[in-house]
Amino acid sequence: MASIKLGGNEIRFISIFESITGSSVRDCIIDEDDDRIVFVVNPGNIALAIGKKGANIRRAREFLKKTIDVVEYAPNAEEFLKNTLAPARVKNIIINNSRDNKQIANIYVDSRDRGIAIGKNGRNIAKARMLAKRHFNITDVIIK
């Protein structure tokens, strides 16, 4: 796993998010391109982060005035990538090494869920690529 460096803003956002939701956050990415904050919560903390009927995440969005995405961490790359693309139904994930020794994840999703996996304007696939690179040094993520 790559080492993750957090800046002052990320640490501040984590502190606020944890105090609002009661979940424990492992990572935070401020995604300026899509104007959102992506929180990676520890395994088993996703329900706490979202809250009953989405109450916690709604409060955090209102407080931070940003779109918030929450992903549950998993210690293996396949499970983690599945979590990044939820609620899309992932059938299979194959991680290959390319000729130049880069890791590429090929993710096979249910054909009805391709749109969900890619997301509006490619937001979900961009999030998956960002997190895969940051946590597992996977260079590219391809939806099939």
With cut-offs at 50, 70 and 90, classify the pLDDT of residue 119. Answer: very high
Rounded to whole angstroms, the Cα distance separating 112 from 38 reads 25
- Nearest CA to 61 out of 35, 41, 86 is that of 35
What is the percent of the chain with per-residue pLDDT over 70, rounded to a whole number?
98
More confident residue, 60 or 2: 60
The residue behind tokens 């099939």 is 144
- Domains in the chain, start-ordered, CATH in brackets? 8-72 (3.30.300.20), 77-143 (3.30.300.20)
> Which amino acid is it at 31?
D
What mean pLDDT value characterizes the chain?
Answer: 93
